[in-house]
Amino acid sequence: MTKRFTLHGFWLSGPTYKVGLMLSLCGEDFAYHSVNLRAGEHKSPAFLAKNRFGQVPVLDDAKTGLALCQSAAILEHLAAELGKFQGEGAAGPARAREWMFWDFDRLAGPIYRSRAQRFGIRNFNQPVMEMYWAEGNAALKVLEEALAASDWLVGTKPSIADIDVYGVVAFAPQAGFDLKAYPAIGAWMARMEALPGFIPSDGLPKTAQA
């Protein structure tokens, strides 16, 4: 049977992982297309027709006919369409959005870029790496304080805020950040990893397959 959702992504991509994690936690059996970034597939006319920014992930939603980009926007779409992980209460979706904007503003840059440096994908000089180190730890401290006060980022249940932020923090050790210094984050990660349908950050297919 044709699947409603097709995720176009790359297995090393944190934003792709966030969307795969959301689909899996929602119990959605989705198709997956591995985009060959090395070959420049994400800059091909066919891919640019789906995402003008030329980046993964993209989610095709056969029901609405939408091809969506930007992982946080995709998480919001899935939450609204599937009625899951929207954030508790009337203010829940707005609170979840606050965390997702914060994530890309403060947390994702230092962690994803430090990881890219360690993998040899980027080549930043020492002062830039030191800046990412300081910024990443400052953001992790903010997260630690929030999670010391509450099991989940919004209300009393997991939401797309947790999924979005987990999709960055899961890569922090590969980026060189020591999460032992953040016990509340560690406990929250264990709660995330115990959710039905959880997939680990290296859990997406490495080659194209449906």
Q: Are 5 and 28 in contact (CB under 8 A)?
A: yes
Residue 10, helix vs strand vs coil:
coil
Residue in the block written with tokens 């999670």:
147
**Which DSSP state fits 38?**
T
Range in contact with ligand GSH (rule: CB under 6 A) among 7-15, 24-32, 149-157, 201-209:
7-15
114 interacts with ligand GSH by CB under 6 A: no
The residue range among 66-74, 80-88, 117-125, 131-139 that interacts with ligand GSH, by the rule CB under 6 A, is: 66-74
Burial class of residue 2 in the structure, from the number of CB atoms within 10 Å of its CB (0-12 exposed, 13-18 middle, 19+ buried): exposed
CB of 209 to ligand GSH, least distance (A): 19
Of 42 and 77, CB closest to ligand GSH: 42
For residue 9, the cross-strand partners are 34
Looking at residue 209, the DSSP 8-state letter turns out to be B
Stretch that binds ligand GSH, among 52-60, 119-127, 143-151, 152-160 (CB under 6 A): 52-60
**Sequence letter at residue 97:** R
DSSP secondary structure code for residue 178 in this structure: -
170: Cα separation from own chain's centroid: 9
Letters for 10-29 (x = contact with ligand GSH by CB under 6 A, - = none) are ---xxx--------------
Of positions 31, 54, 117, 122, contacts ligand GSH by CB under 6 A: 54
Applying CB under 6 A, the residues found at the interface with ligand GSH are 13-15, 37, 42, 54-57, 70-72, 104
